[in-house]
Amino acid sequence: MNRKSTIKAAVLGATGFAGEKLVEILCRHPAIELTGAYGIEEPKPLKDYYPRFNKVVGLSLEPIVVSEVSAKADVIFLALPHTVSFNYVPQFLAAGKIVIDLSADYRLKDVAVYEKYYGVTHKDKKNIAGAVYGLPELYRDKIKKAKLLANPGCYPTVSALSVAPLIKEQLAGDIIIDAKSGITGAGRKASVDLNYTSINGNLYAYKLFKHQHLPEIIQTISEIAGTEMEVVFTPHVVPLEQGILATVYADLKKKLTKEEIMTIYDKFYKNEPFVRVLPGLPKLKDVFNTNFCDIGFEVEGKKIIIVAVIDNLVKGAAGQAVQNMNIMLGIPETAGLL
Amino acid sequence: MNRKSTIKAAVLGATGFAGEKLVEILCRHPAIELTGAYGIEEPKPLKDYYPRFNKVVGLSLEPIVVSEVSAKADVIFLALPHTVSFNYVPQFLAAGKIVIDLSADYRLKDVAVYEKYYGVTHKDKKNIAGAVYGLPELYRDKIKKAKLLANPGCYPTVSALSVAPLIKEQLAGDIIIDAKSGITGAGRKASVDLNYTSINGNLYAYKLFKHQHLPEIIQTISEIAGTEMEVVFTPHVVPLEQGILATVYADLKKKLTKEEIMTIYDKFYKNEPFVRVLPGLPKLKDVFNTNFCDIGFEVEGKKIIIVAVIDNLVKGAAGQAVQNMNIMLGIPETAGLL
Amino acid sequence: MNRKSTIKAAVLGATGFAGEKLVEILCRHPAIELTGAYGIEEPKPLKDYYPRFNKVVGLSLEPIVVSEVSAKADVIFLALPHTVSFNYVPQFLAAGKIVIDLSADYRLKDVAVYEKYYGVTHKDKKNIAGAVYGLPELYRDKIKKAKLLANPGCYPTVSALSVAPLIKEQLAGDIIIDAKSGITGAGRKASVDLNYTSINGNLYAYKLFKHQHLPEIIQTISEIAGTEMEVVFTPHVVPLEQGILATVYADLKKKLTKEEIMTIYDKFYKNEPFVRVLPGLPKLKDVFNTNFCDIGFEVEGKKIIIVAVIDNLVKGAAGQAVQNMNIMLGIPETAGLL
Amino acid sequence: MNRKSTIKAAVLGATGFAGEKLVEILCRHPAIELTGAYGIEEPKPLKDYYPRFNKVVGLSLEPIVVSEVSAKADVIFLALPHTVSFNYVPQFLAAGKIVIDLSADYRLKDVAVYEKYYGVTHKDKKNIAGAVYGLPELYRDKIKKAKLLANPGCYPTVSALSVAPLIKEQLAGDIIIDAKSGITGAGRKASVDLNYTSINGNLYAYKLFKHQHLPEIIQTISEIAGTEMEVVFTPHVVPLEQGILATVYADLKKKLTKEEIMTIYDKFYKNEPFVRVLPGLPKLKDVFNTNFCDIGFEVEGKKIIIVAVIDNLVKGAAGQAVQNMNIMLGIPETAGLL
């Protein structure tokens, strides 16, 4: 990638799944130069962490030193664990950087809810209000002006996109989201529960009624609806690596045909480069390693079932972060993502 | 297995997944001698179809000739495709045989519904009424006296068992069943849609609002409840071979704690050898190749989410068929199944 | 399984893959009563380790106390990590028990080789000479009289069985064994290298020229041949759970047709209940969860390629251990294994 | 991808795995405009075959009409089944097109061998001699001047690259190639043998001594060596989608240390953008969806084991075809491939 690049980007947390995917996407991005990859692990070439980057990515993992990161980059991606980002964000903002945080630290407007679900005291409360929630299909105008972007979680992204057109028009309620996720959603760590023998041929639900993404889903859906919404959300682990399929059950407030609802969805998403509304039902594999969200649905009486799929590491994390960066920088929204 | 066996059994449709599993279970069964395996495919040793049966099962597949099957067996298992069994059942009943049909042909009491969902004219309407629906946990007494047993479908089995204790007491309604199944549920046939590359890493919903198991689920749940129930049922394909996980959403008619509901489930299933009510949530792999149905749930307010798992080829087909046979023959219900 | 059992067995190391499989097989065994399961992990019901044993296996894991184990069992299976068994074996032998050790501790006759490959000082050198190497197809007569049985490794089992008929007659040399194993071969532990994301879609060779099973393979093949043999052995990890496929390359000492070699194999294995010599090539899945070794081959000129498959946890560990026990106890060799 | 492109390319056989991958790569290629996708299947938008191309690739599959293809493209990729390309190649050459054939039709210089292994009469014998075998690491200079490029098979690519540095110097002989391939190597078609249930958890060798890639491997290795070489080649199917790992056994003609051999490999491949010689052993997943060939090895005495990996659809098919195109067109060799 020898193109002349003028915008410099850095990735903090380059050894996690989202960080790795960010490095991959940014290195191919036509308008970006990735100047640094940072993390708390042993400093060594990224190719020693990811042999697939050998002869592709020349960077080495470096320790996180805010001043050094700031000196080398205009855009800072934080792909750090939850409850870590808020230690760095104020300093990067103070240095005038564009900050895109992939953690949950700035997503929830109600800090009490954040502190309850993540079990820590938030150390940068004052910047929460100014953070823009980075769901481009809903908040593109705000994103354009953002300095601190809170990149949405994977479950909230697919959940919000699946129902936004209906919710916006107050056409549906009683929402139940049955979500199935590949195991990269659990992050990269040593645990017998993540072993091949624990996941292959297996399938299970977890954290019923209490997943930490639930308040984020409720916040977003409620904001779209303009009113407080209740949501039931059940995450599952399925035996695959990347991707989420959400099956969403809702009650229509009035009888609508499939065609009428299709018109509503088509209109809502008609200019969206990364949402594909389908006449049939989506399959997860069709969005593998892409930034797309595919959506299909069926209606019977006043019941609707919507099925939506994303790649949790792309549209659910790194891809959406780059899409947000593109919007913030005023470059083509699909740059580096098709 | 050289034990003296007095009851002779035959399997029709031995080349499908359920037939194969029946052969496997019956050959190990301490009270049964499997005397014949039948099908429309080329007559040759079963081990040529299933090399794993080499030195284990000595039988050859034979053409289906009713008089020959009847001459050799007391119990006839029909693991034939839907809409085929009704051609054979009357003759086996006339010959005084115990008939266990794994197809859908005798499950639905309303023949019009059967004919609508399976797209054929039923050719043995007169035996439908006398057929006993073989869900032992609900109909054990009837099964003991049955001559024609309609073995339940895989989705209906897990669906009914997941909610029976609540429904029986009219404690819940507004049931939504989000079911995820391994690909053996689709049967064994050549199709690009069943290819490894089509299933691995993939995940999708299908037949929304119109799966042929829906009327069977509604019939069973309504019968348990003693009143007509509405059910939303969504099947999915997940990338694994055997097993179904059903996530069931329901509204409680009154507030009940988890402990109260646990008491109801424990009481309902306390003597059941093949249902395990768990304090936590079940994982699919724990029932792989077993006849168990594992059930767990969580409650919040008046919402309940129940998660239940079975192996679709065992408790959802061949294992349950053998469990039913054991009951019909008056031998220990778990014989050959633990 | 309520049959009257007269022989009592115990499993030490019940929380590993081989120990788990032993518990499964022994609980179904018609002539055995499993009286104890032991390990160094937290004492609690086995079903808390393996929910699939719920309502099937009533035992709890207990701490390893030799006197207590001895008081309750006649046959002791040690499914402990390598370099641990030799601490217990002398005491069980002194107590007059039949001891079946699944570790490598008593397999290698040359203790210096053992100590080199396993990196420890052997603490029970005096019992090594008396231990019988438990490959029934080769050493059945010795096994009948054994008190201490060294159960072979998974790679050595499939390797030895694949070439024994040729080697015995000094018909082949220059042996190269290219073996591919499922990931249970690596044991159950927390490690990013064992994660689903590390194994799924992956494939690699490891420990070239230096796998700890190499000296065991050489010892066995040399003993069969009656002369020191050289062997090249390359293990690989393939993305599946259970099973090993070995592709063995050898040079024939004289020209032999496929038919002539088939005659040699058929004769060698004609009375073997668990070896299946095939006219074509074996597939791994046909031995999944069985105690069989399937073998096929092709010849061209003086080159032969033999392909053999086993389930590493069954014929490569727990199943073979039970086969050996059956022989030692004088009960039918296939008991509990078909 | 709105860049101004001046070179127009077409893909024939766009519905197979290699054709699909070609479409994907060419659509992202900075110097190419993909102007047509052709095949014998039903003409309809490519996105109807591959929903993942929805909003990415606007082309429709069109019937193969040579004049129309020629009118729209400068470079013609033929990703057709073996024994089909030779019907089209002469016409495209006559029209002055650059032709890159991914089938075997022009790879084997000895047409008698081709006709024996592929079972047909070759209908364009006269163009065989002029076709250039497209292994860039060995034939880059010839490729620069080629008009008809025979793109190598997947097994021959990884086989030749694994041993070329040694063979070139006549340092090794007695080559045995034990290759393991994902199932996309078998192509896309409906067959129970390709079903998920047939591949998942399975592993097998096939076509011992007689795979159609064997003569291609022998031809290439012999040409590198400058003398006729014998090779034993065993392909296997492993349960994954994309990728080949080849484990190559050879006898060194003289004793060489690992360091000496590393020097030979490093020198041979030092300027190669798509070959990575590793100090350790390669893992298949590190080349997934890349055009790299990763190579590692170990030496003991005069035995060497080389392990090499490629993605069969990229370096083993579509990626290498694009690499060859880049060379033929004089554009950067890595364009569109990193």
As annotated, the active-site residues of C are 154
**Three-class DSSP labels, B41-80:** CCCCEHHHHCHHHCCCCCCEEECCCHHHHHHHCCEEEECC
Please tell me which chains touch D, using 3 or more CB pairs under 8 Å as the contact test: A, B, C
Residues B162 and B307 in one domain: yes
Nearest to D197 by CA among A71, B313, A273, B131: B313
Catalytic pick from D154, D183, D214, D244? D154
Put simply, the answer to whether B283 touches C51 (Cβ < 8 Å) is yes
- Specify which residues C61 forms β-bridges with: C37
Query: Which chain C residues are Cβ-neighbours of D204 within 8 angstroms?
Result: 245, 281-284, 307
Residues C148 and C159 in one domain: no
Determine the pLDDT at residue D2: 40
Min Cα–Cα distance to chain B from D182, Å: 10
CA distance D175 to D160: 11
Determine the pLDDT at residue A2: 41
Q: Is C298 helix (H, G, I), strand (E, B) or coil?
A: strand
Nearest by CB: C184 against A192, A197, A240:
A197
pLDDT at residue A41 is higher than 50: yes
Closest alpha carbon within chain B to C336: B1
CA distance B181 to D174: 49
Closest alpha carbon within chain D to C231: D303
Determine the pLDDT at residue C231: 97
Tracing tokens 């073997």 back to the chain, one arrives at C272
Q: Token digits for D75?
A: 């470079």
CA distance D157 to D143: 15
Say which residues have a Cβ less than 8 Å from residue C191's Cβ, sequence separation at least 6: A190
CA distance A52 to D314: 14
In a domain, residue A134? The reply is yes
Burial class (CB in 10 A: 0-12, 13-18, 19+), B15: buried
Residues A51 and A172 in one domain: no
Nearest by CB: B51 against C28, C50, C286:
C286
Among residues 292-331 of chain B, which lie with CB inside 8 Å of chain C? Answer: 292, 294
Residues A34 and A49 in one domain: yes
Q: List the CATH number of the domain containing A42.
A: 3.40.50.720
Query: Which chain C residues are Cβ-neighbours of D284 within 8 angstroms?
Result: 201-204
Put simply, the answer to whether C205 touches D303 (Cβ < 8 Å) is no
Determine the pLDDT at residue A234: 98
pLDDT at residue A120 is higher than 60: yes
pLDDT in tens, D256-278: 999 999 999 999 999 999 999 99
Has D293 been annotated as catalytic? no
Query: Which chain B residues are Cβ-neighbours of C52 within 8 angstroms?
Result: 285-288, 290
Q: How far is CA A261 from the centre of its chain?
A: 26
Determine the pLDDT at residue C332: 97
Expressed as residue numbers, the domain containing A25 is 3-152+316-329
Min Cα–Cα distance to chain C from B278, Å: 10
Residues A71 and A159 in one domain: no
Q: Token digits for D183?
A: 């199932």
Burial class (CB in 10 A: 0-12, 13-18, 19+), A189: exposed
pLDDT at residue D135 is higher than 90: yes
pLDDT at residue D136 is higher than 60: yes
Closest alpha carbon within chain D to A24: D338
In a domain, residue B335? The reply is no
Q: Side-chain half-sphere of D25: how many Cα atoms within 13 Å? A: 31
C121 touches chain B (CB under 8 A): no
Determine the pLDDT at residue D156: 98
Min Cα–Cα distance to chain D from B85, Å: 24
pTM: 0.97
In a domain, residue B120? The reply is yes
pLDDT in tens, A83-110: 999 999 999 999 999 999 999 999 999 9
pLDDT at residue D4 is higher than 90: no
Residues C80 and C108 in one domain: yes
Catalytic pick from A10, A64, A154, A163? A154
φ, ψ dihedrals at A168, nearest 5°: -55, -40
Q: List the CATH number of the domain containing D287.
A: 3.30.360.10
Please tell me which chains touch A, using 3 or more CB pairs under 8 Å as the contact test: B, C, D
ipTM: 0.96
| Averaged confidence pLDDT in chain D | 96
pLDDT-derived band of residue D3, with 50, 70 and 90 as boundaries? very low
In a domain, residue C181? The reply is yes
Residues D193 and D226 in one domain: yes
Tracing tokens 């086993």 back to the chain, one arrives at C310
Query: Which chain D residues are Cβ-neighbours of C285 within 8 angstroms?
Result: 201-203
Other CB atoms within 10 Å distance of the CB of residue D266: 11
In a domain, residue D337? The reply is no
pLDDT in tens, A243-288: 999 999 999 999 999 999 999 999 999 999 999 999 999 999 999 9
Alpha carbon distances (Å) from B223 to B135, B220, C208: 12, 5, 64
Put simply, the answer to whether B232 touches A288 (Cβ < 8 Å) is no
Q: Is C257 helix (H, G, I), strand (E, B) or coil?
A: coil
CA distance D69 to D66: 5
Which secondary structure element, helix H or strand E, spans residue D34, and what is its range? strand D32-38
Nearest by CB: D196 against B17, B189, B200:
B200
Residues A29 and A145 in one domain: yes
Residues A256 and A127 in one domain: no
C195 touches chain A (CB under 8 A): yes
Question: Which residue ranges in chain B fall short of pLDDT 50?
Answer: 1-4
Note whether A216 and A179 are within 8 A (CB). no
Q: How many CB pairs under 8 A join A and D?
A: 45
Q: How many CB pairs under 8 A join B and C?
A: 45
In a domain, residue B338? The reply is no
In a domain, residue D247? The reply is yes
CA distance B57 to B59: 6
Q: What are the pLDDT tens digits along chain C (338 aa)? A: 344 458 999 999 999 999 999 999 999 999 999 999 999 999 999 999 999 999 999 999 999 999 999 999 999 999 999 999 999 999 999 999 999 999 999 999 999 999 999 999 999 999 999 999 999 999 999 999 999 999 999 999 999 999 999 999 999 999 999 999 999 999 999 999 999 999 999 999 999 999 999 999 999 999 999 999 999 999 999 999 999 999 999 999 999 999 999 999 999 999 999 999 999 999 999 999 999 999 999 999 999 999 999 999 999 999 999 999 999 999 999 999 99
Nearest by CB: D245 against C203, C208, C305:
C203
CA distance D266 to D278: 9
Q: CA dihedral in degrees (B1, B2, B4, B10; nearest 10)? A: 50
Note whether B256 and B171 are within 8 A (CB). yes
Residues D123 and D206 in one domain: no
Determine the pLDDT at residue A6: 83
Q: Token digits for B307?
A: 């998660």
CA distance C177 to C179: 6
pLDDT in tens, A191-248: 999 999 999 999 999 999 999 999 999 999 999 999 999 999 999 999 999 999 999 9
Extended beta strands in D154-224, E state: 172-181, 204-205
Nearest by CB: B338 against C1, C50, C285:
C1
Put simply, the answer to whether D281 touches C247 (Cβ < 8 Å) is no
Note whether D56 and D81 are within 8 A (CB). no
Determine the pLDDT at residue D6: 83
In a domain, residue A336? The reply is no
What total number of domains does chain C contain?
Answer: 2
Note whether C61 and C43 are within 8 A (CB). yes
Residues C51 and C132 in one domain: yes
Nearest by CB: D192 against B188, B201, B241:
B188
Put simply, the answer to whether C51 touches B286 (Cβ < 8 Å) is yes
Mutate one of B177, B204, B299 to test the A interface: name it (highest A CB count within 10 A).
B204
Nearest to A180 by CA among B246, B322, D299, B67: B246
Closest alpha carbon within chain B to D202: B196
Note whether A33 and A57 are within 8 A (CB). no
Query: Which chain B residues are Cβ-neighbours of C266 within 8 angstroms?
Result: none
Residues B307 and B159 in one domain: yes
Put simply, the answer to whether C190 touches A188 (Cβ < 8 Å) is no
| Averaged confidence pLDDT in chain A | 96
Q: How many CB pairs under 8 A join B and D?
A: 53
Put simply, the answer to whether C288 touches B52 (Cβ < 8 Å) is yes
B200 touches chain D (CB under 8 A): yes
B251 touches chain A (CB under 8 A): no
Min Cα–Cα distance to chain D from C93, Å: 40
Q: How far is CA B72 from the centre of its chain?
A: 25
φ, ψ dihedrals at A82, nearest 5°: -55, 150
